[in-house]
Amino acid sequence: MAPQTPKQTVAAENRKARFHYEIIDTLEAGIVLTGTEVKSLRGGKATIAESYATEEGGEMWLINSFVPEYLQANRFNHEPKRRRKLLVHKTQLNRLAGAVQRDGMTLVPLKLYFNEQGRAKLELAVARGKNAPDKRETMKERDWNRQKQRVMKEGSRGD
């Protein structure tokens, strides 16, 4: 996972992805956007929670992501739910497509952000869907970690 730096601004995050999927591998991909999409993303109202990536015709595409229209763009606006092309190297594309076809993995976007140079990037994960027992185990682990933090915090205050 890419470390959060002060110069990195997150435009959209898929917080439920780590609950619904077991993350196997992550990679950073560029994304092709129009000017109004970039302006709208800087406002931080985009949604990637229901989106996924797929390989079609030797290219990687982000499907079902929502970038709201930029209000000041008038007739030059973009379509909010259009397919967006992802920029990955050919070797990465072949590896990801192979994982999806052979192993039944899914390509899930985790985070859409602007890097230090101001370019829009997408953190993409190769993931396997969790079943109900795995999700319950994740919830138990999260609750246990919260309880541990509370106990540690109370213990440090008592001294």
Q: What is the pLDDT of residues 114-151, one digit of tens each?
A: 999 989 999 999 988 878 777 888 888 889 999 988 88
Structure confidence at residue 28 (pLDDT):
93
Structure confidence at residue 6 (pLDDT):
58
Structure confidence at residue 90 (pLDDT):
92
The whole-number mean pLDDT for each consecutive block of 10 residues of the chain, a chain of 159 residues, reads 66 86 90 88 87 90 89 80 91 88 87 91 89 82 89 75
Structure confidence at residue 130 (pLDDT):
79
Structure confidence at residue 1 (pLDDT):
54
Query: How far is the C-alpha of 128 from the C-alpha of 83, rounded, in Å?
Result: 23
pTM for the model = 0.75
